[in-house]
Structure 1
Amino acid sequence: MKFWKRIKIKVLAFGILMSIIPLVSLAYLNVRAAEKDLLVSIQQRNTDLVKGIAMDIGQLISEIEDKISAAGNVFGEALLQQNRESQEKFLYIFLRDIPAVEDISLLDERGREVARVSKREVITPQKLSQVDPELLSKEGMVKSYQTADRRTMVSLIIPVKSLLTREIKGGFYVQVNLRPVMNTVLAKYGNQDGDIFVVNNDGKLIAHEDFSQVLRQTPVNSSLAVRRFMEGKEYEGTLPLRYVSFNGEKVLGVYAPIKKLGWAAVMEIPVREAYKPITALKFKFLIITFFVVVLVVITSILFALRFTKPIEVLEQGARRVAAGDLNFVLPKTTDDEIGQLVDAFNFMTQQIKQKSAELIQTEKMAALGLLAAGVAHEINNPLATVSAYAEDLLERIAEEDVRELHRSGELARYLQVIGKQIERCKKITGSLLNFARQPAGHMIDINLNELLEDTLALVNHRIKQLGIQVEKEFNVDLPVVKGDLSQLQQVLLNIIGNALDAMETTGGRLKLVTEKREKDLVIKIIDTGTGIAQEELKRVFDPFYTTKPLGKGTGLGLSICYGIVKEMKGDIQISSSLGKGTTVTIILPMERKEGEKDEGNN
């Protein structure tokens, strides 16, 4: 049987699959749930972070505006009336107190610069310029730009209004360097796993943790978060955006608008960094799942072995019984359904054994009936001789002196002939009696040559009737074999009878051979009869199958012979050619010496 068809493998596979599939499925679902929870957590944390960055940037710009606006509201209108030197001194205060301010101008109500100071250059009156007067009405950021040395600047307009009429009298034109602003913000939110940067409404990079990116003006508008901002879409959802960033790396991105400036703060975390906790979790689940699977497999194997062992013993027992070992008894180890099945199997085996014995005896009686006429004829001849000699002896005793007959040896000669014929009858009837006796399973040492001679004596009359020539090739050094004499003789009688039936119309030659092989004794019964067709040869041991004409033969003979020989741990082999004859080979194991083991019982 192929190993995958064995019930042990099926039970083992079922146990393992039914244990592992739910376990692996549960582990997978837990990992997926943990992954989703982690992504939600990342999204929430990063969203809060970029919103905080956006708010802080806007707030820092607002603080700059508020400081300058507060001073302008108090001193601005009077400042416009002072000379340029006083105005510049006042403006230098902003440069000193607000690090992000790099350049600041004081404008009159027509937008002309009346005073200007800068951290990077000396401003002479010739460098004063004109600003569009309409900008004075636009409080807040009016533009952003980059200088020649790639500094990102923001231009702010802070109007100066009359304290009484709130009319615009002038204003401050402020140039704010965004880098100090970003440094302040990143100092608060720094040491993140990803990149934080700011883009304007055109998707242009304004600020980045890595200032070299700003210096190179790296295009970032290929990032999905930047494109979503440029499209004016508000960020929604519980999961971060997953995409390939402008640097070619897979990232999780979130963004938040800086509403005061019309910009956006963007944060991108590499997926490999974001998924480190998930990877660690998967590894832990993998280790746990592996050990649990190993435990489940070991448990399943032990359970499968424990569960299927009685079934395998039952299957082996069925094979032994099928092979003819009707003395085999299955051991009962449990009281469950399998134990009940063992009881039923043992009962069935005993029933088969009993019925087989009855069937053997029935077949034997049938054979005995067929032998009766021949045996009677064989006995009749010696009895006729006994009768003739006895009658003649009585006549001579009546006519002659008994002492003279005794002295001459005639009396002894008559008695010897009568005794010899009686011994002949005794041998024939003894063989017939031994064959007919109900078998008791008594195992004795059997001389196969003598058994063949006794069997031939039972069919001798028929052999003579059919004119069949008998040849014998007996190994005189043949050792004895252990077996049931009556059953083995029944086997020989059945096979020899079949050989005689095959030569009934044609006559022929019957050859009996005994051989000794390495571990076996062999009997060959060879006839020159009609033979058996090849398509029928493979079925000759089937119960109720016969090649004889209708009404002759039950089809049980060879089947019973096969069972008897198999029970003796032997074998029967038949070879035949149609029209040429048949050879039946009976192989019987020699009696093993003490210490040798029966391989079949190992």
Structure 2
Amino acid sequence: MKLFRKFHSIQGSLLLHELSYVVLILVTASVGIGWAFAWQKSAEESLRLTAMNSHVQNVRGELYRQLKEVFDASFLSDVDAADEYDLYTRRINMFLGDLQLLAIDNKEIDATNKIAIAYNRFHNETNKLLVPANLTPQQKHLLDKQLEQYTFSELEAAFGGFERLLQDKQRVLTKNRQKWISHIMILAPLPVLLAITLLLFSRRYVKNNVVRPLASVMQGARRISRGDLAHNIPKRGVDDLTRLADAINSMADELASNRDKLIEAKKQAALGELVPLVAHNIRNPLAGIRAASQVTQDETSDPVIQDALRDIIIAVDRLERWVTSLLTYLHPRKPHFSRQKLTEVADNAMSLIALQLNEKQLTLSRKGWEGQVNQIAVDSNLMEQTLFNLVQNAIEASPHHSEIMLNYFQKNAQVVLTISDRGKGMTFDPVSEQVTDGEAKRLGSGLGIPFALKVIKQHGGQLIYSDADSNGTKVTIILPRT
């Protein structure tokens, strides 16, 4: 596996491609060299057997000539027969010596030795007949018969055995040649089949590990360049393309993060221009309302009017604190935490929206208020304005004569407050700004949700938007129970 991983790159793929063709060349060369070597061996063996057969025939021919000289000396008293006999003897011994040099196995050596032994016996018997002597006709008849039936027949038997051995060798050689020819007919297509196999394997490997992953990377890069930063390029193919896809995906994530930061910066810039103006235009009337209420409260003695004026002063002071908290959204400061119940903070925020609820004839229901509620660390001013903004959004989204539900509960180390309305619901997540209905809708520079998200993050919590159980939208606030 480690060896294969070395080839799992573009450079490794090229190396594998080159090695495959080196293997093809080696296989082709091996087949050719093997066949040539076998054919050469067969040719050499054929030449050797032909040379041995030629030497045997030469020995036989010279033997007949030598035998003729023996008869010439014995029956015709030829004085030159002895010299001719010796010449043929030397030539026969020379051929026998060459024959013994060509013999390579025990059978050939044994057959050659039989010819040499038979010839030596023939030579010993015929050499005596070269001495001139007067032979009677009966002696000449016996000599002729002895040479023919015994000595010469032994030579012929040796020659016959050697020739049969050569014939057997020749048949084996012919059979081997036919076998090699049949093998070469089988091996000849092997390089072609191997080349086709390597071509198909190389094509498939390159297509699956280089071409298709590269096309996927290019397509993904084009989608990301058009703004689809959520697209994730699949990591497949050789290691180089996997690393490239991973780098592009990381780049897209960084671009998405930078884009969100840019949107947040644009919101901050818009709010930086808007909020001070709004705060100034609110504070001046609030100051006048508070002053007039306080003067009227000092001048009247009616308890009902004094209670109403006291409520006005409390509401004005609360609005003043909210305006101050709103300005801190542009110039962040550390929240001033105090131990309070989240339900009490919610009640304080809801006391200012009774008029809006009455205008649309909405019912504000609370659930979980009657149970045990633990105190948590919150900045009451920031959290009151956060809850006010979120409930106000729910009021705007709710139809007339419907219900807004506040549900509080505690789990593990967290406290949870949900705000559910019966509106049409949202087609996108305003927190992550991810569109869910295919529209290219983006958040604007509203104050409510960005302010709420920022405050809840300062408290170490979460703000989650989801669909309510029966239509509408549910906003979930999760804060640490500390």
Give the TM-score band, short-chain normalised: 0.5 to 0.7
- Which residue of structure 2 lines up, in the alignment, with residue 432 of structure 1? 323
C-alpha change, 1:30 and 1:498, in structure 2 (3 Å) is same
- Which residue of structure 1 lines up, in the alignment, with residue 464 of structure 2? 572
Asked if the contact 1:100–1:177 (Cα under 8 Å) also holds between the matched residues in 2, the reply is no
Determine the C-alpha separation between the residues in 1 that align with 2:22 and 2:385: 69
After superposition, the C-alpha distances for 1:494-517 in whole angstroms (9 at most, x for unaligned) are 53233212335x233322222222
* Equivalent residue in structure 2 for 1:390, among 298, 304, 308: 298
In the TM superposition, 1:350-361 aligns within 5 A as 351-358=262-269
* Equivalent residue in structure 2 for 1:225, among 149, 174, 177: 177
Determine the C-alpha separation between the residues in 1 that align with 2:381 and 2:254: 23
Asked if 1:499 corresponds to 2:394, the answer is yes
Letter in 1 for 2:57: S
SS at match of 1:507: coil
Asked if the contact 2:364–2:404 (Cα under 8 Å) also holds between the matched residues in 1, the reply is yes
* Equivalent residue in structure 1 for 2:63, among 68, 87, 98: 68
Determine the C-alpha separation between the residues in 1 that align with 2:479 and 2:299: 52
C-alpha change, 1:537 and 1:74, in structure 2 (3 Å) is same
C-alpha change, 1:226 and 1:542, in structure 2 (3 Å) is closer
Structure with greater strand share of residues: 1
- Which residue of structure 2 lines up, in the alignment, with residue 518 of structure 1? 412
- Which residue of structure 1 lines up, in the alignment, with residue 54 of structure 2? 59
Asked if the contact 1:102–1:118 (Cα under 8 Å) also holds between the matched residues in 2, the reply is no
- Which residue of structure 2 lines up, in the alignment, with residue 43 of structure 1? 39
After superposition, the C-alpha distances for 1:348-407 in whole angstroms (9 at most, x for unaligned) are 6653442353467789899x79xx99x9999998766434323448xxxxxxxxxxxxxx
In the TM superposition, 1:358-507 aligns within 5 A as 358=269, 385-392=293-300, 421-442=312-333, 444=335, 445=337, 448-449=342-343, 451-457=345-351, 459-473=353-367, 474=369, 477-478=373-374, 480=376, 492-504=387-399, 506-507=400-401
Determine the C-alpha separation between the residues in 2 that align with 1:69 and 1:484: 139
SS at match of 2:169: strand
TM-score, normalised on structure 2?
0.53
After superposition, the C-alpha distances for 1:39-92 in whole angstroms (9 at most, x for unaligned) are 43343344323322332x22332332343144156445556769xxxxxxx9xx
Determine the C-alpha separation between the residues in 1 that align with 2:115 and 2:243: 91
- Which residue of structure 2 lines up, in the alignment, with residue 22 of structure 1? 18
**Matched residues, percent identical?**
9
C-alpha change, 1:363 and 1:181, in structure 2 (3 Å) is farther
Letter in 2 for 1:590: P
SS at match of 1:198: helix
Determine the C-alpha separation between the residues in 2 that align with 1:311 and 1:591: 42
After superposition, the C-alpha distances for 1:214-256 in whole angstroms (9 at most, x for unaligned) are xxxxxx98x47369xxxxxxxxxxxx53449xxxxx999xxxx
Asked if the contact 1:482–1:591 (Cα under 8 Å) also holds between the matched residues in 2, the reply is no
Determine the C-alpha separation between the residues in 2 that align with 1:16 and 1:378: 76
Determine the C-alpha separation between the residues in 2 that align with 1:54 and 1:482: 114
Asked if the contact 1:470–1:511 (Cα under 8 Å) also holds between the matched residues in 2, the reply is yes
Q: What's the offset of the Cα at 1:524?
A: 0.7
Asked if the contact 1:571–1:588 (Cα under 8 Å) also holds between the matched residues in 2, the reply is yes
Asked if the contact 1:360–1:560 (Cα under 8 Å) also holds between the matched residues in 2, the reply is no
Letter in 2 for 1:523: L
In the TM superposition, 1:269-284 aligns within 5 A as none
Asked if the contact 2:31–2:187 (Cα under 8 Å) also holds between the matched residues in 1, the reply is no
**Segment of structure 1 superposing worse, 16-25 or 565-574:** 565-574
Count of aligned pairs between the two proteins: 364
* Equivalent residue in structure 1 for 2:181, among 241, 266, 269: 241
Asked if the contact 1:515–1:522 (Cα under 8 Å) also holds between the matched residues in 2, the reply is yes
Q: What's the offset of the Cα at 1:426?
A: 0.9
- Which residue of structure 2 lines up, in the alignment, with residue 588 of structure 1? 478
Extract unaligned runs of 5+ from structure 2. 78-84, 93-112, 123-142, 189-237, 438-442
Asked if the contact 1:469–1:510 (Cα under 8 Å) also holds between the matched residues in 2, the reply is yes
Q: What's the offset of the Cα at 1:451?
A: 4.7
Determine the C-alpha separation between the residues in 2 that align with 1:21 and 1:563: 57
Asked if 1:198 corresponds to 2:169, the answer is yes
Asked if the contact 1:435–1:489 (Cα under 8 Å) also holds between the matched residues in 2, the reply is no
SS at match of 1:467: coil
Extract unaligned runs of 5+ from structure 1. 1-8, 83-89, 105-113, 129-152, 154-172, 186-195, 200-204, 209-219, 228-239, 245-249, 253-303, 327-344, 394-409, 548-552, 593-602
C-alpha change, 1:389 and 1:558, in structure 2 (3 Å) is closer
Determine the C-alpha separation between the residues in 2 that align with 1:306 and 1:483: 52
Determine the C-alpha separation between the residues in 2 that align with 1:98 and 1:544: 108
Letter in 1 for 2:394: A
In the TM superposition, 1:160-199 aligns within 5 A as 174=156, 176-180=158-162, 197-199=168-170
In the TM superposition, 1:306-317 aligns within 5 A as 312=246, 315=249
Determine the C-alpha separation between the residues in 1 that align with 2:352 and 2:11: 63
C-alpha change, 1:175 and 1:122, in structure 2 (3 Å) is closer
Determine the C-alpha separation between the residues in 2 that align with 1:118 and 1:485: 146
Asked if the contact 1:101–1:174 (Cα under 8 Å) also holds between the matched residues in 2, the reply is no
SS at match of 2:472: strand
Asked if the contact 1:101–1:176 (Cα under 8 Å) also holds between the matched residues in 2, the reply is no
C-alpha change, 1:491 and 1:421, in structure 2 (3 Å) is closer
